[in-house]
Amino acid sequence: MNNPSSTAARNTAALDRYRTMRRIRSFEERVGELFLRGESAGSMLHLSIGEEGVVGVTDAMAQGDSFTTHHRGHGVFLARGADPVRMLAEIAGREDGYCRGKGGSMHIADRALGHLGANAIVGGGIPHVVGAGLSYRNQASGQVSAAFFGDGAMQQGILYEAMNMAALWRLPVVFCCINNQYGMGTRIDRAAASVDFVARAEAFGLAGVSADGADVEAVYAAAQDVFAGARAGRPGFIEVSAYRFHGHARMDKSPYRTAEEEAEGRRRDPLARARDRLIAEGLADAVDLDRLDAEAGAEMDRALAQATGAPLPPLASMFEDVYDPTTPAPEPLRHRLARILNA
Amino acid sequence: MNNPSSTAARNTAALDRYRTMRRIRSFEERVGELFLRGESAGSMLHLSIGEEGVVGVTDAMAQGDSFTTHHRGHGVFLARGADPVRMLAEIAGREDGYCRGKGGSMHIADRALGHLGANAIVGGGIPHVVGAGLSYRNQASGQVSAAFFGDGAMQQGILYEAMNMAALWRLPVVFCCINNQYGMGTRIDRAAASVDFVARAEAFGLAGVSADGADVEAVYAAAQDVFAGARAGRPGFIEVSAYRFHGHARMDKSPYRTAEEEAEGRRRDPLARARDRLIAEGLADAVDLDRLDAEAGAEMDRALAQATGAPLPPLASMFEDVYDPTTPAPEPLRHRLARILNA
Amino acid sequence: MSETTYREALRAALEDAMDQDPAILLIGEEVGLYGGAYGVSRGLLDRFGPDRVIDAPISEPAIVGTAVGAAMTGSRPVAELMYVDFAGLVMDQLANQAAKSRYMFGGQIAVPMVLRTQGGTGRSAAAQHSQSLEAWFLHTPGLRLVMPATVNDAYHLLRAALTQPDPVVFIEHKGLYTLKGAWDRGRPDAGWGEALVRRPGRDLTIVTYSRMLHESLAAADTLAARGIDAEVIDLRCLNPLDEATMVASVRRTGRVMVVSEGVLTGGVAAELSARLQELCFDQLEEPILRIAGEDIPIPVSPDLERASIPSAGLIVEAAGQLMRREVAAWAR
Amino acid sequence: MSETTYREALRAALEDAMDQDPAILLIGEEVGLYGGAYGVSRGLLDRFGPDRVIDAPISEPAIVGTAVGAAMTGSRPVAELMYVDFAGLVMDQLANQAAKSRYMFGGQIAVPMVLRTQGGTGRSAAAQHSQSLEAWFLHTPGLRLVMPATVNDAYHLLRAALTQPDPVVFIEHKGLYTLKGAWDRGRPDAGWGEALVRRPGRDLTIVTYSRMLHESLAAADTLAARGIDAEVIDLRCLNPLDEATMVASVRRTGRVMVVSEGVLTGGVAAELSARLQELCFDQLEEPILRIAGEDIPIPVSPDLERASIPSAGLIVEAAGQLMRREVAAWAR
Ligand SMILES: Cc1ncc(C[n+]2csc(CCOP(=O)(O)OP(=O)(O)O)c2C)c(N)n1
Ligand SMILES: Cc1ncc(C[n+]2csc(CCOP(=O)(O)OP(=O)(O)O)c2C)c(N)n1
Ligand SMILES: [Mg+2]
Ligand SMILES: [Mg+2]
């Protein structure tokens, strides 16, 4: 998270990024398992496998920076320090989950970690970081707020409204597009007349850069500049290219793309690339990395077991959290019916 | 309207454009009078004085091309052949108006002339031309549809969604921004982080050009290319620069801009410029043009008199045109109350 | 007369209509190659080609706006909004443009389009993918509004929607796509704008629509076993609204429950309740009860989600109390 | 106690609140240099500077989205929507984001923002600038909803809205800005969420809010001259809704009219009618009447515009018939 000055620190950070990416992948595999066991709340589970290179962006953030994510946001959140147990509990709709079983996979958040909320409306969370940037500017807090979203959101008008406002008011804001080439079954060139997204961002007054998401260190280098600029009032845009290894959500078998394309896409694996580089640069050997992989797997196994052991939320909790508890709450229908029938 | 091949035709067309611009100005002056006489329906009247250079765009359109306009759309509509009597009658809320007194200044239209509707929602009419373009493409009709809007709409997200769709599907569509430097009291540089609007359009895959709206012939030349491209499936964007001579609407005295700025802006008068050019090029002399000006004034005086002599719409007409007349209409409240009270 | 699913009936309606009317276009996210998020438009891209089955970018406002413009110029577009929850993105194009164009322009400009979408709970899709927002559309003059509950209605109401001169919001229920039922391609259950008595009864009228029809029918069965004979009315269309069928029933039974999945406050149930009270006041024996969604966002956890909307159980419970109340009143 | 205008009371509320709470920001189109399209924020830019009074581009969805994010991070934003008619552009940010964040995130994330806007007819502003869309907000759990009718309420309800922990939609009426009335900076007419009996009466209850309060009071005066003593209740807040005050009145009078400017079908009047019927059934002597806007878009021509919404005259007419109906019933 800090700007590592010594070579040693840089090396540790690279290894840490690998570990974070591995933890994300292991986590997402457990989400898949949860679904197969019929224990997830629904099937609207969007795995970020293949997109772990975004860790280069999350690592460029500082403690206290805030962010919003889209429906495929597990990886970003984990990288920012989320507790996998509470995440899985939420995805399973349990009382111990981050959102008390009310939000689920698409609405996970932890205010304490700066997560202002995952959003199931494509583009829905983007303008929130403009507002956060406004608060930070006025509070002179030095914080930055970053929106994470997919290439699909590049076709939502609200993005350009938000970009323009951030640039106009010179807010500490970063827009990060994880371009995994697809919005559901639609390849990006069937959705966007021009796929030069950096040019779009620049036309709205932002500093823009595109980074190869298969190379987490390259992403990290690019992101550091973007965040430094944003912190100084020059909001920026960063595109992280990736390939969505699996279907859009758990039920999707991706019939709209060929096996060859998928094989090719999966060869751009940020984990394999990082592993090779760590070994080539002598920062770790295969045994170290295997151990680290196993640890990540074991951690997530434990998390899964703990999460699925958590209790379900009590029915009455349904009426909580609509409004602040010091103000009038919704009246349950049964109470209302009783009032009417006994009137 | 046609592509004039001979010099004579070109000269006549230039004179015609001057006449159209003069008619627009005279018309708008009568709208101001209507308001002062207390005979307009409300005060939400947005004069296009100063923006007459847009006639270079409307003249590049072919018969059968359709268009949508914004709240400041009188000029565009007149240029496309509107009857000033029916326009003024509509603005006065009369039965004989284009919309039977239901729409008023901001919602004037004539389907027969290709006007798909003026819109009071900034940006609201823009996507309609994408749909029209889709129809024309599928009908292979050779028509183009053009959206006219202000610089303020450059900050509405729906514009970029529409641009992207038009470019992606190669539709016969033109986006025309009349950049009069202001959205109400906000100068464009206080609303847009970057005012290079052509760059924005290009980033969404459109052919883009900016033209000096004080020079109607320059606008016409630029617009011809844009419409030719659009007709061939290369949708385009054209910015017509201008200065809004008067306040935003009839009540606005523009306290947010200086007298010097206004004087400077009014010097960029498309009518004065065209007049000078016609005389300089020997196409007309001052006497001809004075006569033409007087004719336009007299025409609009007659129109005003006729329009204000038109009857008000009968109250019962209020319930018509909500739905097609062959289908169930809304029940007037008084009928309903009678049914209830006599039940 | 055959049997099929709600999904397949919708697909067949699109296919048959597109066959007959070349002006019909489909436009929406994933309607083509993917076949629709819920599989309704499967096969139509192959059949009708990309000029008529148009995969759109994720640009809901412009999708609906495009449909408006296409409808104004000789096409008959079906715009698909993947979830009714995204209505918040398109209400301007729908309520200010599609719904008002005919009126604002004095009858000159019609917008014969259909907005197809789906809503409701049942898939643990949480607060932004589970809503029932028909009340927003009902409150918008200029729109027609249809919510089919049965397989045959899925087919025939969609066919009818595609002949309407004005914009129609057509809301499917995500919980009904796999519903099987009788389908007669040649014969609708009833005309456009007509409500249907799906189950006759003497003691009590239940007015409902969309998926709640099935909960209501199940409740009526249980009630029958307890000696309460409930009449169940399926509205089918909310605009135009068939008051006459409801009123005739209520004047006969004197007791009504309106059942709707949308949240209670400000919902369709309120409108139905208000109308029936107005027109049946002198015949009402008991207060009209609204059985509707709780006034909360939809929670993701499956048990909570289920408990947040009406069920057959709740309908039975409320009906039982409503009938008992009468006895209590006599006893007073 | 002094006198001022509705507009000035609103301005003063913003000024006083911003003075006391440095977290308050205004953001919206023309709120700064221009002073607000209806002049409500005049002078505030000079007073509080451009970091707190922020002129925004014409980007309604992102304006509301920005307010949501600002509210999540320690600011207390007032987002201004110039006309409530533009709600269609922002319903996603309002209903799916602002309203649902606390819930979806299990209580962690509050969105203490105010959406200030104005609605209603009276300026011949036509179909896209004259609507009354409060029903959409009322149907959205998670939002609070306030509609002040008087000068003192304009001040105090806005002050109170700016202390609420949840998003508040605050709707002014364009026809009231020049209204003059009593203003006591130190004392609200009543608390947040409380309805007020603005005129006591024995024969009939009129429940209303916003500008229709004044039509209702005028009607009550006329009715009084005809020997009909109407009680007039001003709801002030629609969420939270003060059922108790309404119910107490209706149980006493046995006759009710609800009066609302919004279009009848699916409107707030339906909710009020349904509620009162439910809770006062045994005390109702006559059907609850809804006096509301016609089910049409607002026409521009002044006479048509006026005739499309309720007036004192219509209220008197309906009340007279409602009272006469009783006689007819006895006579049967
Ligand atoms: C406003 C909105 N439109 C449509 C959807 C349905 N939807 C969910 S995810 C998705 C694709 C998003 O693609 P992208 O933004 O690239 O994210 P990815 O899934 O690839 O991570 C779509 C269309 C939605 N949730 N919200
Ligand atoms: C969606 C929407 N937002 C705000 C307004 C209020 N409004 C009407 S005109 C206008 C300024 C528009 O500026 P521009 O687009 O440049 O057009 P101009 O008035 O300069 O011709 C504004 C803010 C509106 N009518 N619609
Ligand atoms: Mg993607
Ligand atoms: Mg302008």
Q: Which of C178, C200, C126, C188 is nearest to C152 (CA)?
A: C188
Output the pLDDT for position D330.
45
Mean pLDDT (whole number) for B162-183: 98
Output the pLDDT for position A5.
62
Does ligand 2 have an atom closer than 6 angstroms to the CB of B158?
Answer: no
| Chains near D (3 or more Cβ pairs under 8 Å) | A, B, C
CB contact under 8 A, B192 and A168: yes
Catalytic residue ranges of D:
60, 129
Give the closest ligand to the alpha carbon of residue A154: 1
Residues contacting C17, CB < 8 A, separation 6+? C24, C158, C159, C162
Does ligand 2 have an atom closer than 6 angstroms to the CB of B243?
Answer: no
Task: Going from the first residue of chain D to its last (332 residues), give the mean pLDDT of each consecutive group of 10, the final group possibly shorter.
Answer: 96 98 98 97 98 98 99 98 98 98 98 98 97 98 98 98 98 98 97 98 98 98 97 98 98 98 98 98 97 98 98 97 67 44
SS3 at position A34: helix
Residue nearest to atom 12 of ligand 2 (CA): B183
Ligand 3 (single-atom ion) residues, CB below 5 Å: A 150-151, 180, 182-183
Residue nearest to atom 11 of ligand 1 (CA): A183
pTM higher than 0.90 for the full model?
A: yes
Which runs of consecutive H residues, i.e. helices, occur in chain B? 7-36, 55-58, 74-79, 84-91, 126-139, 157-168, 197-203, 216-231, 259-267, 270-280, 286-308, 333-341
Distances (CA, A) of D272 to B16, D206, D257, D266: 61, 11, 10, 11
The conformation of residue C53, written as its DSSP 8-state character, comes to E
CB contact under 8 A, C88 and D103: no
First and final C-alpha spacing in chain D:
54
Distance CA A76, CA A136 (A): 21
Nearest-CA distance D157 → chain A (Å): 16
User: Which of A49, A71, A105, A121, when mutated, tests ligand 1's pocket best, judged by the most ligand atoms within 8 Å of its CB?
Assistant: A71
Distance CA D167, CA A179 (A): 33
Does ligand 2 have an atom closer than 6 angstroms to the CB of B180?
Answer: yes
Q: At what angle do helices A157-168 and A126-139 cross, to 10 degrees?
A: 10
Preceding peptide of C148 cis, ω within 30°: no
Instruction: Assess whether the region C2-183 and the region C196-325 belong to the same CATH fold.
Output: yes
| Chains near B (3 or more Cβ pairs under 8 Å) | A, C, D
Residues contacting B117, CB < 8 A, separation 6+? B68, B69, B107, B109, B125, B128, C72, C101, C104, C105, C109
Q: Are B166 and B133 in contact (CB under 8 A)?
A: yes
CB atoms within 10 A of CB C324: 11
- The answer to whether B298 faces chain A, any CB pair under 8 Å, is no
Beta strand C144-146 with C168-173 is: parallel
Name the token pair of D186: 């130190």
SS3 at position D246: helix
Q: Are D91 and A120 in contact (CB under 8 A)?
A: no
Q: Are D185 and D129 in contact (CB under 8 A)?
A: no
The full set of domain ranges for chain B reads: 14-341
Distance A192 CA to ligand 1 centre (A): 14
Number of H helices and E strands in chain A, helices first, is 12, 8
- Residue C145 has, within 13 A of its CA and on its CB side, a CA count of 26
Distance CA D311, CA D320 (A): 14
Output the pLDDT for position B201.
98
Residues contacting D320, CB < 8 A, separation 6+? D223, D226, D228
Output the pLDDT for position D171.
99
Exposed e or buried b for every residue in C242-272, given b needs 16+ CB within 10 A? bbebbbebbbebbbbbbbbbbbbbbbbbbbb
DSSP letters for B197-248: HHHHHHHTT-EEEEEETT-HHHHHHHHHHHHHHHHTT--EEEEEE----S-S
Output the pLDDT for position C332.
42
CB contact under 8 A, D299 and B107: no
Was domain B14-341 assigned CATH 3.40.50.970?
A: yes
Name the token pair of B248: 């935003």
Q: Which of residues 24-53 of C touch D (CB under 8 A)?
A: none
Distance CA A167, CA A175 (A): 11
Mean pLDDT (whole number) for B289-295: 98
SS3 at position B298: helix
CB contact under 8 A, C34 and A317: no
Catalytic residue ranges of C:
60, 129
Name the token pair of B243: 């200065």
Q: Which of A338, A326, A296 is nearest to A20 (CA)?
A: A296
Output the pLDDT for position D331.
46
Sort out which chain A residues have CB atoms less than 8 A from B167's CB and list them: 193-194
Q: Are D23 and D74 in contact (CB under 8 A)?
A: yes
Distance B97 CA to ligand 1 centre (A): 45
Distance CA B331, CA B315 (A): 14
Please give chain C's pLDDT, 332 residues, in tens: 799 999 999 999 999 999 999 999 999 999 999 999 999 999 999 999 999 999 999 999 999 999 999 999 999 999 999 999 999 999 999 999 999 999 999 999 999 999 999 999 999 999 999 999 999 999 999 999 999 999 999 999 999 999 999 999 999 999 999 999 999 999 999 999 999 999 999 999 999 999 999 999 999 999 999 999 999 999 999 999 999 999 999 999 999 999 999 999 999 999 999 999 999 999 999 999 999 999 999 999 999 999 999 999 999 999 999 998 754 444 44
Output the pLDDT for position B8.
86
Does ligand 2 have an atom closer than 6 angstroms to the CB of D60?
Answer: yes
| Chains near A (3 or more Cβ pairs under 8 Å) | B, C, D
User: pLDDT tens, A152-162?
Assistant: 999 999 999 99
Phi and psi at B50, nearest 5°, equal: 105, -15
Output the pLDDT for position C324.
82
Output the pLDDT for position B5.
62
The full set of domain ranges for chain D reads: 2-183, 196-325
Beta strand B236-241 with C24-28 is: unpaired
SS3 at position D117: strand
SS3 at position B180: coil
User: What ipTM does the predicted assembly reach?
Assistant: 0.98
Preceding peptide of C240 cis, ω within 30°: yes
CB contact under 8 A, B160 and A158: no
First and final C-alpha spacing in chain C:
53
Q: Which CATH class is domain C196-325?
A: alpha beta
Q: Which of B228, A130, A246, A251 is nearest to D64 (CA)?
A: A130
> Of A192, A194, A205, which has the smallest distance from its Cβ to B193's Cβ?
A205
Interface test with D, best of A323, A326, A336, A341 (most D CBs within 10 A): A323
Query: What CATH superfamily is the domain C2-183?
Result: Thiamin diphosphate (ThDP)-binding fold, Pyr/PP domains (3.40.50.970)
Output the pLDDT for position D298.
98
CB contact under 8 A, A44 and C125: yes
Q: Which of C42, C37, C44, C58 is nearest to C15 (CA)?
A: C44
Residue percentage of chain B with pLDDT more than 90: 96
Distance CA A41, CA A47 (A): 15
Is the pLDDT at B129 greater than 80, yes or no?
Answer: yes
Residues contacting C303, CB < 8 A, separation 6+? A312, A313, A315
CB atoms within 10 A of CB A32: 16
User: pLDDT tens, B92-120?
Assistant: 999 999 999 999 999 999 999 999 999 99
Q: Which of C148, C154, C160, C205 is nearest to C183 (CA)?
A: C154
Q: Ligand 1: residues whose CB is within 6 Å?
A: A 46, 70-72, 120-122, 150-153, 180, 182-184, 244, 248; C 29, 58, 60, 82, 86, 89
Q: Which residue of A has its CA nearest to B167?
A: A193
Which sign, positive or negative, has the C-alpha torsion C312, C313, C314, C318? positive
The DSSP element (H or E) to which C198 belongs, if any, is: strand C196-199
CB contact under 8 A, D274 and C273: yes
The conformation of residue D288, written as its DSSP 8-state character, comes to P
Distance CA C254, CA D33 (A): 61
CB contact under 8 A, A196 and B203: yes
Distance CA D5, CA C322 (A): 50
Does ligand 2 have an atom closer than 6 angstroms to the CB of B239?
Answer: no
Segments in chain A below pLDDT 70 = 1-5, 343
User: pLDDT tens, B208-263?
Assistant: 999 999 999 999 999 999 999 999 999 999 999 999 999 999 889 999 999 999 99
Q: Which of B159, B146, B160, B173 is nearest to B234 (CA)?
A: B173
Which sign, positive or negative, has the C-alpha torsion B316, B322, B325, B327? negative
- The answer to whether D244 faces chain C, any CB pair under 8 Å, is no
